[in-house]
């Protein structure tokens, strides 16, 4: 199986079987995000326990790229410390928004799938980034004044 076909299969799996696609009823915070260019809307809820993301859930009215990106994101960040999540967010957004042709070797297949999709369809950058920027907004709301 060639790389684009593998990536397409990963994206389709996360669209058809989105992980953590649910309202998080015990969220300690949530944020809403939107992509006005295409109409995608997303809510990301997180539950922090001892400065770790114990759980994350999302709901959306969105395209498949946003759905797949949210599903991948939710699986990756669950169990991470807040600092780890913030570092991951900055790293992911810098790569996707730059549509970097050179992908770090250590990048997961899921990230490669998103980046491949964005590189083939540059108009979808905001779709792929929406879950991540919405998670970032939720984390920022949790910081003390």
Torsion of CA 97, 116, 59, 79, to 10 degrees: -80
CATH assignment of the domain containing 63: 3.90.1010.10
pLDDT per residue over 6-60, tens digit each? 568 899 999 999 999 999 999 999 999 999 988 999 999 999 999 999 999 999 9
In Å, the largest CA–CA distance within the chain is 51
pLDDT band per the 50, 70, 90 thresholds, residue 138: very high
Decide if 29 contacts 142 (C-beta within 8 A): yes
Dist. CA 143–CA 119, nearest whole Å? 34
**CA end-to-end span of the chain, whole Å?**
51
Residue 1 pLDDT more than 50? no
- pLDDT at residue 101 in the model: 55
Dist. CA 65–CA 36, nearest whole Å? 15
Dist. CA 49–CA 65, nearest whole Å? 29
Which residue segment(s) compose the domain that 17 sits in? Answer: 3-142
- pLDDT at residue 63 in the model: 93
Q: Are strands 40-49 and 29-35 parallel, antiparallel or unpaired?
A: antiparallel
Angle between helices 64-77 and 3-16 (to 10 degrees): 80
Q: Which of 43-52, 57-66, 112-121, 123-132 is predicted with the least confidence, judged by mean pLDDT?
A: 112-121
The number of domains in the chain is: 1
């Amino acid at each position: 199986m060639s790389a684009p076909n593998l990536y397409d299969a990963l994206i389709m799996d996360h669209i058809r079987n989105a992980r953590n696609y649910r309202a998080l009823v015990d969220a300690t915070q949530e944020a809403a995000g939107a992509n006005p260019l295409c109409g995608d809307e997303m809510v990301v809820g997180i539950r922090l326990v001892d400065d770790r993301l114990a759980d994350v859930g999302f709901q959306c009215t969105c395209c498949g790229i946003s759905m797949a990106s949210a599903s991948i994101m939710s699986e990756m960040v669950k169990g991470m410390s807040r600092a780890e999540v913030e570092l991951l967010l900055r790293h992911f957004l810098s790569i996707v928004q730059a549509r970097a042709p050179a992908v770090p070797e250590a990048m997961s297949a899921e990230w490669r799938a998103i980046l491949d999709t964005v590189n083939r369809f540059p108009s979808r950058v905001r779709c792929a980034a929406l879950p991540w920027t919405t998670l970032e907004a939720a984390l920022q709301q949790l910081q003390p004044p």
